[in-house]
Every structure is written in C-alpha cells, then in structure tokens.
Amino acid sequence: MFFRNFFLAPTLLVASVVVFFWLGRPSIEQTDHIDQAARRIGIMTPHGTYDPSTGPKSITYFVGKSTIQRPPQDPYFGVMANGIALSREVDVYKDDAWTPMTGNGSLTSSSVQPERFYASGVRLVGVLDKRGATTDINFGLSAPYLAKVPTKQTVYINKLPKTWPANYKQAGTYLYTGIPDAPKEGDVRIHFGLAPLGTYAALGGLQDGLLQPFSDPFIGQDAAVIQGGAATVVALIASSQDDLSTPQAIAYSLLFLCAIIGFYQWVRTPGGMLSRTPWYTLQA
C-alpha cells in the first residue's frame, strides 16, 4: 500500500504537469504567429509617413483621435449621444429573469429589436502627443470598422425626447414597458451603450482615405480590427483571435484537479512529507 501510493501520487502529479504544458503548445505557437503577423504590418506615424522600422505594407497600423460630423441617434426613441456608435440593447423578461435579446432588426408595432446607429463622417486624426495635439493626417472608418467598435459606455438620459414612445417609462438608465419594480412575463426594458469620442487604434488597408477590411493568413479574411485607446500592434492582433475554447478550459481544469489530488496523496501517504510515520519503519 505504501509503495503504491508513494509512487503513484508523484506519477499522477508529474503526468498532469507534462500534459498541461503539452496542451499549452498552441498558445506558444499563437504567440509566434502574432509576431509574424506584426512584421507584415506597416506603422503609420501621425505625420502620415511610415515608421522606418516597418516601411509601407499592405496592412497599416494607425492611432488617431476620433472626430465626427453628426452624432449617432436612435430615430425611434430620439436618443442622441456624442460618440462614434450608439447601441440599443433590449432585454425581455422571461422565466423570472431579464434575458438579452439578440439579433438586429427593424421596429414593429409589438416589439423593439437591438440595433446599432452610427455617427456620420467618422475619421481618425493623427495625434502628436499626450496633450492631444493633432495633425492634418486623417483616415475615415468604413462600415465594417464602425460595426466592430465596442459600445460599453452607459448612456444616461437626462431629458426625455419629444418622440418618446408613450408605452415606455424611464427608471434610472433603463426604459420599461411595464412596472420596473414588478416586471411581468414578456415585459421589455431598454438601455443604450456608446462608443465615445477619443483615441482609437486600428489595423486596416488604406484605400481612398478610408481604413478598409484586409486579409491576413493569421488575422483572418476581411478583417476589421479596432480598439479604444492607443493599443499596440501586438495587442490589436491578439484581440482579433478567439479566447480559450471551452474544451481547452475543461481540460486545464481537470488537469489542475489531478495535480492537486496527486500532490495531496503524495504528502499524506505514510512516509510522505506530512506523515509522522517514517518511511523506513513501513513494510510493503
């Protein structure tokens, strides 16, 4: 019993660690692919010239401050906010819980669909320094880029527009069709998200003064990559890839559990690290 546990537990622990690193090989390969993709990208300076270390490439990295001509507006609710994109998020009360509605459709007499609205004349203007000084170099954002801009900032509605539908009531940052504190099956609540004005970093192909989708062996086909803030080239490429898959996450969790069990069995085995029984007094 002693020799079985004493040797089986460390074997289980070591095997778990080995398999863990074997499963981690795709992450190492992905890092290598990201580095290779980064070398295929030209870095555009705020002055409109390419960084000497990269030179001109078919894919361009550019950081700029967003400007617009007219802010986005939801024509049905009349909500307008100063930013690049405005999203209407819709939740339906179902099975005693609020459930986000997915899809993108038009309004009907009985329901409201989630939808996105965009500012007109969206452009990224080259930023010279941290104080926000800009240059004359700027690029417009095509529709695929606007569709990728995250609308995570909550829109606070301070004044009800005249076009407000009569069957909706405001409570905090939400609009409700029923009683906010006592929702019923089928009730709808709506809130709005915004992609604010500010600095954005993007990867794209340049055509007629617009950042257009591009194709890359690693990043993907017809890719449009944009992120808020002055994200680096590597960060933008990494953001375009899928996160850890569910099977991988389950495998890592099981391996971690096996490693814990193996270590516990090892230290608790008579003669082990936490045992008070010396190993030389034990018999097989």
Quick check: 205 pLDDT over 60?
Answer: yes
Alpha carbon separation from 43 to 102, 205, 237 (Å, rounded): 37, 12, 13
Per the listing, tokens 């969790």 go with 253
Structure tokens at 199: 């600095």
pLDDT digits (tens, 9 = 90+) for 244-271: 444 544 555 555 565 566 555 555 555 4
Q: What is the DSSP string of 155-215?
A: PP--S--TT--TT-EEETTEEESS-TTS--TT-EEEEEEEEESSEEEEEEEEETTEEE-EE
Q: In terms of Cα–Cα distance, which of 105, 101, 202 is closest to 146?
A: 202
- Residue 127: per-residue pLDDT: 73
Quote the longest CA-to-CA distance of the chain: 88
What percent helix, strand, coil does the chain show, rounded to 5?
25, 30, 40
Q: What is the mean pLDDT of residues 198-214?
A: 90
Tally of residues, the chain: 284
Does this model's pTM top 0.85?
A: no
Kindly report, residue by residue over 76-88, the tens digit of the pLDDT: 888 899 999 999 9
Instruction: Name the strand (E) or helix (H) holding 28.
Output: helix 25-38
**Greater pLDDT, 251 or 222:** 222
Predicted confidence at residue 66, as pLDDT, reads 93
Q: Residues 106-152: pLDDT tens digits?
A: 454 446 889 999 999 999 998 766 665 667 788 999 899 999 899 99
pLDDT tens for residues 160-190?
A: 666 677 788 888 888 888 888 888 888 899 9
Whether 79 and 73 have beta carbons less than 8 Å apart is answered as yes
**Is 229's pLDDT higher than 70?**
yes
Confidence band for 203, pLDDT divided at 50, 70 and 90: very high
Q: Is the separation of the CB atoms in 123 and 197 below 8 Å?
A: no
Nearest 5°: the CA angle 85, 90, 95 is 155
Name the pLDDT band for 198 (thresholds 50, 70, 90): very high
Question: What pLDDT is attached to residue 257?
Answer: 60
Residue type, 141: L
pLDDT in tens, 21-44: 544 444 556 777 888 888 899 898
CA distance 104 to 99: 16
